[in-house]
Amino acid sequence: MKKLGALVAAAALMITGCGSSSGGSGSETLTVFAAASLTESFTALKTSFESSHPGTEVKFNFAGSSALVQQLSNGARADVFASADQTNMDKAVQAGVVDGAPSVFATNRLTIAVAPGNPKGITGFADLARGGLTVIVCAPQVPCGSAAEKVERGTGVTLRPASEEQDVKQALNKVQSGDADAGLVYVTDAASAAGKVGQVDFPESAQAVNSYPIAVVKDAPQAGLAKQWVEFVLGEQGRAELQKAGFGAP
């Protein structure tokens, strides 16, 4: 009986030990805060990363970069932050919420999303100032909104948007739903909605190309995995996926 009791106790100890890692499941969760425009490409990269890191689950918080910086500054826990512009990453650095120097991994530029078939006959940026059009842009603090303002200043064209959205996906959705005739979004977002929206490129978008930096968050719960994710995004597979989505090279 003593021997049986000892075996039972040993088995119980082994079970307890096996279940004590990472909340009892033996898995690790990597939390990535990323700009909304990265939704499709990062979601595709998640599958490959999880396959090469058994027991790891990647969870995302996609939103406007300015909102993500605010969340991190307010104490939100995350492992990685990927911004759609340098300005908001600079704010994160100044707030002391990222660890080390950020690395630029992609670039992006604006395009005009329109209804399929372009029924309003929009041919360029200046057309967005025409009367009778419902135009959507991002809010000025959001990278896509800041880029739109740069184009306005560079061209002398003043837009009168019907609304200013908090991230680029909200602007895209307004066009997809028919609530707007046109929306200033990134080329990657228009590509992700091919068939649901049309796309009108304009040369002035070259005046406001956004760089996308990525960094490990300070005191990241999964700092080691966070560094591996950053390296993965910067590496060959990450670059290939981003290029497929329409992002430019850094």
186 is an annotated ligand-binding site residue = yes
Q: Which of 194, 229, 247, 186 is nearest to 78 (CA)?
A: 229
189 vs 245: CA distance, rounded Å = 9
- The owner of tokens 């909340």 is 23
Tell me whether residue 65 is annotated as binding.
yes
Tell the residue number behind the tokens 């100032």, with chain if given: 129
CA max distance for the chain:
90
Q: Which residues are annotated as a binding site for molybdate?
A: 37, 65, 168, 186
- Bind-site residues: 37, 65, 168, 186
